[in-house]
Chain A
Amino acid sequence: MQYQSQLVAKPYFIAAIGLFIVQILFGLIVGLQYVVGDFLFPEIPFNVARMVHTNLLIVWLLFGFMGAAYYLVPEESERELYSPKLAIVTFWIFLVAGALTIIGYLAVPYATLAEITGNDILPTMGREFLEQPLITKVGIVIVALSLLYNVTMTTLMGRKTSITIILLMGLWGLSLFWMFSFYNPENLVLDKYYWWWVVHMWVEGVWELIMGALLAFVLIKVTGVDREVIDKWLYVIIALTLITGIIGMGHHYYWIGTPGYWQWWGSLFSALEPIPFFVMTLFAFNMVNRRRRDHPNKIATLWALGTAVTAFLGAGVWGFMHTLAPVNFYTHGSQITAAHGHLAFYGAYVMVVLAIISYAMPMMRGRVANCAKAQLWETWSFWLMTISMVVITLLLTGAGVMQVWLQRMGDTPMSFMATQAELSVFYWLRVIGGGVFFIGLIIYVISFFIKDKKEAVTTSV
């Protein structure tokens, strides 16, 4: 670690991992509720547990992105962070606001929460992923502004690299598109149309810029490959991302009341969306094969390779599976969507955040890499989490195919609930997959506490 202020990233990463654990616990609850319908009812109804599961995912990934930005920007800019104090204050604001929001979800009925937080002033709640009370949404804006101010000033006053420029564009884009969460017209079709300007523009747009920047940073560090080469790949990847992904948003506009021509635009462009993920996989393996140093942090390299491959599978292949309009007509809003969502989020965003944590945490704890034993534990957690998530995805895909077959095809379609009963074997196995994932996560956490005195890598950087 080259600059003292990079240390502000540490609480962000710790909070990210803490919230990740809670997110998975709630994932296990919703998974169980799929098969034991009255599990924890009425204390934690499905809608509440799911909202906690998805909102925590978003929040901890944001913690990860922010921690990554605070770690990476000083190093890239070759100067201390503009204001470490502001970064720490912002951390506590975000953590307390996030925790209060989750407690609010769990403590009172959602309608009551909406009432006491003044949803009447500007109704924004009750839309998927945007369930947060108005005050939390405003809080996110404040936290984002503080982050943007801090890292932009640092960049402006220091060295400007392609990685920081792309990361900053990602973070600015994230904040700008968030503003659409405040727009909730009475007309459901317009509501849905612009809802995607948050959701799609985040996960299939600007977040990919952040992912690319983080991946490139880790690859530069662990491979020692020339920056010029890495930068060029990075620009090619994000160019392909936005060229395909912006109009690719059309794949959400097939059936929500929008004109039929979106079926052509959406199918054509979103069919190309796997390409940048494929190039990202080529990029990661190429850089590692052409490495000019053997970095002792093997597990960070594994996460970097893993995120590229799994993002290609989850976002690329599983996205393509149901993106063409004639296919999507049958699969829209089925378990196929859930399958894709799980592997895409895990591969692209969970794993890239774990990659940067894996690289940066040892540095912040005064060593280039963790001891071999700790890396072995983390490697186990890598495989357990990744394989179980692939298995979960395959099971949900199986459930989705069967659901489409029983409920949406043929002359005597079954009702939704009757179909769900037929899928229970897939859902039971999925819960087991979730259990294995959770074990992997516990092993991941344990790896932080594994010490091996004999062969500690003591070199401080």
Chain B
Amino acid sequence: MDGGFFTKSRARNIFFGGSVFFFLLLLVLTFDTVQKLPKSDHRENITPEVARGKLVWETNNCIGCHSLIGEGAYFAPELGNVYKRRGEAFIKAWMKAMPTGAPGRRQMPQFNLSEGQMDDLVAFLKWTSEINTQGWPPNIEG
């Protein structure tokens, strides 16, 4: 890569030109994605309950153990589809029963959520399970 046609300034120009071009392409694709998102995220169903539920999810750091649509930690089950896998009653009963205290088993903390927070969280998980995720996960186990 010494001298000749391919000089340092050509390399630099490819870097600047290429980066700017592909960043602009990203902006175009982002613009298009944002236009199309309402069809897959069903934002018309984001009620105040769902929005509060997302805050419950965040302020208890659920992502520190679980994954949500495959992103997060991989220590505990995927919860993007937990509403479909387990249903509302199970989710609530499960959270109330924590921690199991079974020796050597992974433990989920007791978060002491109020009934209202529990309802909000379930509403958030229900809405999340209805996002069009292109068929992911491969099966109900997540």
Contact = CB atoms under 8 A, between A and B. Distances in A.
Interface stretch (A9-17, A19-27, A354-362, A405-413): A405-413
A232 B7 contact: yes
Contacts of B136: 254-255, 329, 332
B73 A50 contact: yes
A238 B61 contact: no
Contact of A233 (B1, B25, B71): B1
B116 interface: no
A30 B75 CA distance: 9
A82 interface: no
A242 B18 contact: yes
B15 A125 contact: no
A86 interface: no
B118 interface: no
Contacts, number: 231
Interface bracket on B: 35 or more
Nearest to A247: B22
Interface in B31-55: 32-34, 36-37, 40-41, 43, 46, 50-51, 54-55
A333 B101 CA distance: 27
Interface string A320-356: 0000000001101111011000000000000000000
A414 B128 CA distance: 23
Interface stretch (A59-67, A144-152, A188-196, A368-376): A188-196
B58 A232 contact: no
A190 B35 CA distance: 12
A256 B138 contact: no
Given A236-B1, A258-B33, A42 B107 contact: yes
A232 B33 CA distance: 36
Contacts of A332: 70, 136-137
Contacts of B22: 242-243, 246-247
A114 interface: yes
A45 to B, nearest CB: 5
B11 A232 contact: yes
Contacts of B36: 259
Contact of A188 (B54, B73, B111, B135): B54
Interface string B101-134: 1111111010100000000000000011001111
Interface string A29-69: 01001101110011001111011000000000000000000
Contacts of B33: 193, 253, 258-259, 262
A246 B46 contact: no
A187 B43 CA distance: 7
A38 B102 CA distance: 8
B12 to A, nearest CB: 5
Contact of A246 (B19, B32, B103): B19
Contacts of A250: 29
Contacts of A259: 32-33, 36-37, 40
A186 B54 contact: yes
A414 B37 contact: no
Contacts of B1: 229, 232-233, 236
Contacts of A334: 74
Contact of B19 (A41, A242, A417): A242
B65 interface: yes
B64 A46 contact: yes
B107 A45 contact: yes
A343 B117 CA distance: 39
Interface string A173-190: 000000000001011111
Contact of A408 (B11, B63, B76, B137): B137
A247 B71 contact: no
Contacts of B14: 235-236, 239
Interface in A401-450: 407-409, 413-417, 420
Given A235-B15, A256-B69, A38 B104 contact: yes
A258 B69 CA distance: 12
A257 B61 contact: no
B97 interface: no
Interface string A380-416: 0000000000000000000000000001110001111
B47 to A, nearest CB: 10
B106 A46 contact: yes
Contacts of B8: 162, 228, 231-232, 235
Contacts of B111: 111
A110 interface: yes
A125 B58 contact: yes
Nearest to A166: B15
A126 B107 contact: no
Given A45-B65, A119-B58, A126-B58, 10 more contacts: A36-B104, A38-B104, A38-B105, A47-B109, A126-B63, A189-B37, A189-B131, A246-B19, A259-B37, A413-B139
20 contacts: A30-B75, A45-B65, A45-B109, A119-B58, A123-B59, A190-B41, A192-B71, A242-B19, A242-B22, A249-B26, A250-B29, A254-B136, A256-B131, A259-B36, A259-B37, A329-B138, A332-B137, A337-B74, A407-B141, A409-B138
Interface of A: 30, 33-34, 36-38, 41-42, 45-48, 50-51, 110-111, 114-115, 119, 123, 125-128, 131, 162, 184, 186-193, 228-229, 231-233, 235-236, 238-239, 242-243, 246-247, 249-250, 253-260, 262-263, 265, 329-330, 332-335, 337-338, 407-409, 413-417, 420
